[in-house]
Chains A and B, each alone.
Chain A
Amino acid sequence: MQKKDIGLGILIIVVGAIVYMRNPLFLSPINLGNTANLIGLFGLFAIGQGFVIMTGGIDLSVGSVIALLGVLFVDMVGKFGVPWPLAMAIIIGLGVLIGLAHGILITRFRLQPFVVTLCGLLIYRGIARGYTAESTAGFPFGSSYPQLEWLTIGRSFGVPHSFLAMLIVAAVMWVVLHHTVFGRHLCAVGKNEEAARFSGINTRFVTVMAYVICAVLASIAAIYFAMFTKSVQPSSHGNFYELYAIAAAVLGGCSLRGGEGSVIGIVLGAVLLQELQNLVNLLGIPSSLNFAVMGAVILLGVLADQQFASYRTRKNTERALGLLQKP
């Protein structure tokens, strides 16, 4: 665990304690279960966003991907009677294709990630709205899919399965980032692409894979969100979700300049964001102020981190100078 992760963990506990003192419902099983569900849903795709950010890129299309793939999943299963495991495979396959498209446009055609994925944001949202003619996609009344529901919105011992899915994904991605060759290369590419290339790393492949991971995790999240909301409104479903993901990753210590980040940090970032949502609800703050609270806390968090970092640098410099002055 990195120092930053520990700091974030402490912040989560402090905020939690304050909310609990003002409103003990915070630690009620119902509230914890609901919050864990949301953490799972948002954490799933925040981890993918973190991988893209570590390459020095960004993926703005996540929310639209969740809307488009959500619509398609609901329609495939609800309207066309596609068996749900097949529908899931198709959705994840589409996620792979979307990620490949982003990655190839960025590496082969040298377009900027911001531009590519901004166009993605517009295109996928547009297709979702056009395909449904703006009508809500939903499952037919009376239909039920017990296994699919158990997998997505079920609970074991009160723990939502979306949360467990996120933990599994986080564990896998933790191994990938910190203990595989690909993870090492991802950090190297993000920090110094040229050096990585000169070291013989296939930097294009690494970058493309980061976008594929991001889109695949977004496609899995799309299925979980669709099952959670049960109906998908194409113009609003998933709006701004890319920003939640970016916020979680940045809170979790990913630098938008690339090369830095940890999976634990991203998950903690997602936890803090949901905790703040919860704070707004439980403390009776008007929910219209939701975004303002979130923005203010992220700003303070990043500012504090920056101040700590420059303080540490100053201390280190002083120590080094002190050593020099001794004969």
Chain B
Amino acid sequence: MNVLELKNISKRYGAIQALDNVSLAIAPGEVVGLMGDNGAGKSTLVKVIAGNFAPTSGDILVSDQKVAFHKPLDAQKAGIEVVYQDLAICNNLSAASNVFLGREPTRRIGPIKVVDYAFMRSKSAELFARLKSETRPRDLVHKMSGGQRQAVAIARTLLSDAKIVLMDEPTAAISVRQVAEVLNLIRQLSDHGISVVLISHRMPDVFEVADKVVVLRRGELVADKKASDSSPEEITGLITGAIEHA
């Protein structure tokens, strides 16, 4: 069974063919490294999967069922979570508030429903512990390191029982130590049976965690192979076009 399957997905922006007949299957717990040059269509692919917009043509299957997403919430309900490049979180809220953003637990006091802060804090502390992250629930996100922010974004996905997590360049703007933290988080997700699609420009990161590497070039999928059967040199060739196909 595949968690997610894409069949001949194409997406046009006016004259630009951002995705051209992309087909891809992802198994449970599989970590997929999605690579490609700037403008290759990686972010577009993530947005199609996440329900930000529909593909121009092609099918999306979740757990072998055909789906049509009209908005991000539809994709979320199907178990697809996205950790966006920079807009995963709201800086002015605490870590716990961010973990629960959009699905705040409430309790009743008489006729009114109030946010259950205590539950939010204890549950997110538990999630951070499960992710082996040192993030504290009460801390404001704008005071956190890049790695801790990723932990917040990823804790969200544990909360929602996600089947698949899409990460668009999570390691773009963070330090080496924090990169290690994020890669660790990805392994934790995979161990929980959650599939991860990792978009990154950093070859070593991808090879450290990915089971499978996929390469997009000008909207076309030119490689889909096991990381252990490939090499950074081969992938670089595929990205630049020095190697036509794999």
Contacts and interface: CB of A to CB of B under 8 A. Distances in A.
Interface in A167-211: 175, 179-181, 183-185, 187-188, 190-192, 194-201
A5 interface: no
Given A184-B97, A184-B104, A196 B90 contact: yes
A174 to B, nearest CB: 12
A304 B192 CA distance: 50
A197 B72 contact: yes
B89 A181 contact: no
A183 B156 CA distance: 20
A260 interface: yes
B90 A187 contact: yes
B90 A180 contact: no
A252 interface: no
Nearest to A179: B114
A175 B92 contact: no
A196 B72 CA distance: 11
Nearest to A260: B92
A105 B133 CA distance: 44
Nearest to A261: B92
B174 interface: no
B92 A179 contact: no
Q: Binding site of A, secondary structure by majority: helix, strand, loop or mixed?
A: helix
Contacts of B89: 192, 195
A160 interface: no
A312 to B, nearest CB: 11
B104 A194 contact: no
Contacts of A179: 114-115
Contact of A200 (B72, B87, B90, B97): B72
B27 interface: no
A265 interface: no
B111 to A, nearest CB: 12
A191 B106 CA distance: 22
B102 interface: yes
Contact of B90 (A183, A259, A316): A259
B162 to A, nearest CB: 13
Given A181-B115, A192-B87, A195-B84, A201 B93 contact: no
B112 interface: yes
A191 B88 CA distance: 12
A252 to B, nearest CB: 16
B92 A201 contact: no
A201 B102 contact: yes
Contact of B91 (A192, A200, A201, A316): A192
Contacts of A260: 92
B101 interface: yes
Contact of A180 (B91, B92, B93, B112): B112
B90 A192 contact: yes
A180 B84 contact: no
A154 to B, nearest CB: 28
Given A187-B90, A191-B91, A192-B90, A200 B103 contact: yes
Contacts of B115: 179-181, 183-184
B92 A181 contact: no
B124 to A, nearest CB: 14
A174 B106 CA distance: 17
Nearest to B117: A179
Most buried by B among A183, A196, A198, A259: A198
Given A192-B87, A199-B101, 20 more contacts: A179-B115, A180-B113, A180-B115, A181-B106, A183-B115, A184-B104, A188-B90, A188-B93, A191-B90, A191-B93, A195-B84, A195-B88, A195-B90, A196-B101, A196-B102, A198-B87, A199-B156, A200-B72, A201-B101, A259-B90
13 contacts: A175-B114, A180-B112, A180-B115, A184-B101, A184-B115, A185-B101, A187-B93, A191-B90, A191-B91, A196-B101, A197-B72, A198-B87, A200-B102
Interface of B: 50, 72-73, 76, 82, 84, 87-93, 97, 101-104, 106, 112-115, 143, 156
Cβ-closest 5 pairs across A and B: A199-B102, A200-B102, A179-B114, A199-B101, A188-B90
